[in-house]
C-alpha cells in the first residue's frame, strides 16, 4: 500500500533517514540532519501524534545558558523567567537559591512546534498520524520500517533509522543484532504530575522537595502562568519493587502540602534516569534522547539533554551516510557514543554513581541543613554551598561521592 506516500505526496517510500519519534531529540535530529547536509538528504520524521498537542511528562524548566547553546530562545515558547529555587526539607523549611533570570519556564509544546517548523522549512518530510511498529533488515543492508497509519499498515525503507521513541526498546527489541545497543531502560523511574490551581507559589521560583517519602527521588512545584502550577514527583526505581504507586504518592503529597489545590488533570510515565556504556548505534540504527537514556540521573532534566543528543546523533548519522565502506560506518557508529559521552555522558555516569548516596540522606539531616542554610544571607546561598552544606552533615557521603566530586 502507498497510502502514506500518496497522502503526503511523497515521490518514494525509500529515504536516507527515518526518524521515529518527534520529541525534542527526534525534532533536533531531523533539523540538524537537513541543516548540516545543506538539504542534500531525504529525512522523514514520524510520530503517532502532533508533538505540540498533548501534555508532556515534564516540568518544563531549563537553564537560559544551556538552552541558548542548542536553540534560539523565542518569546513564543517562554512562559516566563525563573530567578531561583526553593529547596524544601521534609519539615517544610525552605532554603532559597537566587540568581535573577537564570532559567526559563517553557511552553514545551510551543518549543516543539518551533523546532518542527524550522525543520519543515529545511525540507524535512513528516507525518504525525503514524505509529512505528518495528524494523527488519533487508538483504541489501537497508532497514524496513513497519508503520501503521490511519488503520493501514505499510513498509517504508531507509538507509538509517533513528530511534527517538522514548524509554524502552519497543522499536528494536525483536532485532537480535541490535541487542547490545542502549535500550532506554537504564534506571527507569516512575513519575507523576498534575496540573493544578489553588497552590500558593512564586511565579519566578521552582520548589524542589526532598525526603524519604520520595524514595531517592524528589517532589516539585513549577509555575506555569501565575495561576496554574505543575506539581509532581519522581520516585526512585526501588518504589516499584515496594509496590508504591506514583499516582497515589502524588495524591498524598498534594493532600499533605497543598490541601487547597484543585487538580485539573493527572499524568504519569517512566523516566530513563541512568547512563550506561552501551553503544548508541549499530548497523545504521541510532538511538537518541530518552531511547538512549540521556536524562540527567539526579535532576531528571531532559529537554536540553535531548537537544544535545539530537545534535550528536545527526552529526554521526551524516558521517555514516558519507562513509565509503563498512569500516568507516563502524567508526561513525562508535563516534555516536563517543560524541555523547564527551559532551554529557561522562558527567551523567559520575552522577549516576553518586546517586545512591543522595537517596540515603536521613530526613533529620536534610532538615538541619535547611535550617542552617535559611539563616545565611541570600547572596551566600550558592548551589555549591547548598550541596556541601548537606554533605557537611553527612561526612560519610563525601567518600561515597568521590567520583562525582572529581567530575
Q: Measure Cα distances from 388 to 278, 282, 376, 398 in Å.
A: 32, 41, 14, 9
Question: Which positions ≥6 away from 222 have C-beta within 8 Å?
Answer: 59, 60, 61, 105, 206, 207, 229, 230, 231
| pLDDT (tens digit per residue) in 296-342 | 998 899 999 999 999 999 999 999 999 999 999 999 999 999 999 99
Question: Which positions ≥6 away from 182 have C-beta within 8 Å?
Answer: 276, 278, 279, 280, 287, 291, 292, 293
Residue 368 belongs to some domain of the structure: no
Residue 208 belongs to some domain of the structure: no
Determine the pLDDT at residue 186: 85
What is the Cα Rg of the chain in Å?
22
Residue 253 belongs to some domain of the structure: no
Determine the pLDDT at residue 264: 94
Residue 330 belongs to some domain of the structure: yes
Angle at Cα 356 formed by Cα 355 and Cα 361, nearest 5°? 105
pLDDT band, very low/low/confident/very high, at 6 (cuts 50, 70, 90): very low
Supply the DSSP string of 290-359, one letter for each residue.
GGGT-S-TTT---HHHHHHHHHHHHHHHHHHHH-SSHHHHHHHHHHHHHHHIIIIIHHHHHHHHHHHHHH
3-state secondary structure of 367: helix
pLDDT band, very low/low/confident/very high, at 404 (cuts 50, 70, 90): very low
Q: Is the pTM of this model over 0.85?
A: yes
pLDDT band, very low/low/confident/very high, at 389 (cuts 50, 70, 90): low
C-alpha cell at position 138 = 533487508
pLDDT greater than 90 at residue 382? no
Q: Is the distance from CB of 135 to CB of 175 less than 8 angstroms?
A: yes
CATH code for position 12: 3.50.50.60
pLDDT band, very low/low/confident/very high, at 399 (cuts 50, 70, 90): very low
Determine the pLDDT at residue 281: 98
CA atoms of 213 and 216, how far apart (whole Å)? 8
CA atoms of 235 and 218, how far apart (whole Å)? 7
Provide the number of structural domains found in the chain: 1
| pLDDT (tens digit per residue) in 201-245 | 999 999 999 999 998 889 999 999 889 999 999 998 888 878 899
Tell me, rounded to whole angstroms, the distance of Cα 125 from its chain centroid.
24
CA atoms of 315 and 336, how far apart (whole Å)? 8
pLDDT greater than 90 at residue 25? yes
- Residue at grid coordinates 557508529: 333
What does pLDDT average to over the chain? 89
Q: Which domain holds residue 45?
A: 3-53+110-185+274-356
Determine the pLDDT at residue 172: 93
pLDDT greater than 90 at residue 351? no
| pLDDT (tens digit per residue) in 27-49 | 999 999 999 999 999 999 999 99
Residue 138 belongs to some domain of the structure: yes
Determine the pLDDT at residue 402: 44
**Percent of the chain with pLDDT strictly greater than 70:** 90
- Residue at grid coordinates 512505528: 132
Residue 308 belongs to some domain of the structure: yes
pLDDT greater than 50 at residue 151? yes
Residue 98 belongs to some domain of the structure: no
Determine the pLDDT at residue 55: 55
Residue 217 belongs to some domain of the structure: no
pLDDT band, very low/low/confident/very high, at 12 (cuts 50, 70, 90): low
Amino acid at each position: 500500500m502507498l497510502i502514506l506516500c500518496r497522502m503526503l505526496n511523497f515521490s518514494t517510500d525509500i529515504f536516507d533517514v527515518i526518524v521515529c519519534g518527534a520529541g525534542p531529540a527526534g525534532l533536533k535530529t531531523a533539523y540538524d540532519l537537513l541543516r548540516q547536509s545543506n538539504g542534500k538528504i531525504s529525512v522523514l520524521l514520524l510520530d503517532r501524534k502532533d508533538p505540540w498537542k498533548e501534555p508532556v511528562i515534564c516540568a518544563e524548566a531549563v537553564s537560559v545558558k544551556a538552552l541558548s547553546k542548542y536553540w534560539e530562545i523565542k518569546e513564543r515558547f517562554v512562559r516566563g523567567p525563573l530567578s531561583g529555587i526553593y529547596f524544601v526539607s521534609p519539615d517544610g523549611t525552605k532554603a532559597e537559591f537566587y540568581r535573577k533570570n537564570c532559567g526559563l519556564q517553557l511552553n514545551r509544546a510551543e518549543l516543539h512546534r518551533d523546532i518542527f517548523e524550522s525543520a519543515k522549512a529545511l525540507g524535512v518530510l513528516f507525518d504525525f498520524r503514524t505509529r512505528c511498529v518495528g524494523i527488519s533488515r533487508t538483504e541489501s543492508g537497508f532497514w524496513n520500517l513497519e508503520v501503521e497509519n490511519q488503520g493501514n499498515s505499510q513498509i517504508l525503507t531507509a538507509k538509517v533509522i533513528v530511534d527517538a521513541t522514548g524509554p524502552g526498546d519497543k522499536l528494536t527489541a525483536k532485532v537480535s543484532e541490535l541487542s547490545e545497543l542502549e535500550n532506554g531502560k537504564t534506571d527507569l523511574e516512575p513519575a507523576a504530575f498534575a496540573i493544578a490551581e489553588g497552590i500558593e507559589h512564586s511565579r519566578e521560583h521552582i520548589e524542589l522537595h526532598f525526603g524519604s517519602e520520595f524514595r531517592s527521588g524528589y517532589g516539585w512545584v513549577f509555575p506555569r502562568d501565575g495561576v496554574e502550577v505543575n506539581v509532581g514527583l519522581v520516585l526512585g526505581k526501588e518504589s516499584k519493587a515496594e509496590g508504591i504507586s506514583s499516582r497515589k504518592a502524588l495524591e498524598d503529597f498534594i493532600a499533605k502540602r497543598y490541601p487547597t489545590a484543585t487538580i485539573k488533570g493527572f499524568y504519569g510515565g517512566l523516566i530513563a534516569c541512568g547512563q550506561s556504556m552501551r553503544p548508541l548505534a549499530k548497523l545504521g540504527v541510532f538511538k537518541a534522547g530518552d531511547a538512549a537514556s540521556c536524562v540527567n540521573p539526579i535532576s531528571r532534566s531532559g529537554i536540553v539533554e535531548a537537544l544535545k543528543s539530537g545534535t550528536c546523533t545527526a552529526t554521526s548519522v551524516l558521517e555514516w551516510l558519507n562513509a565509503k565502506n563498512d569500516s568507516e560506518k563502524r567508526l561513525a557508529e562508535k563516534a555516536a557514543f563517543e560524541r555523547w559521552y564527551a559532551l554529557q555522558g561522562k558527567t551523567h555516569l559520575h552522577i549516576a554513581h553518586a546517586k545512591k548516596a543522595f537517596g540515603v540522606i536521613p530526613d533529620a539531616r536534610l532538615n538541619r541543613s535547611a535550617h542552617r542554610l535559611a539563616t545565611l544571607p541570600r547572596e551566600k546561598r550558592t548551589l555549591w554551598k547548598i550541596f556541601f552544606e548537606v554533605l557537611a552533615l553527612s561526612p560519610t557521603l563525601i567518600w561515597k561521592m568521590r567520583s562525582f566530586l572529581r567530575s
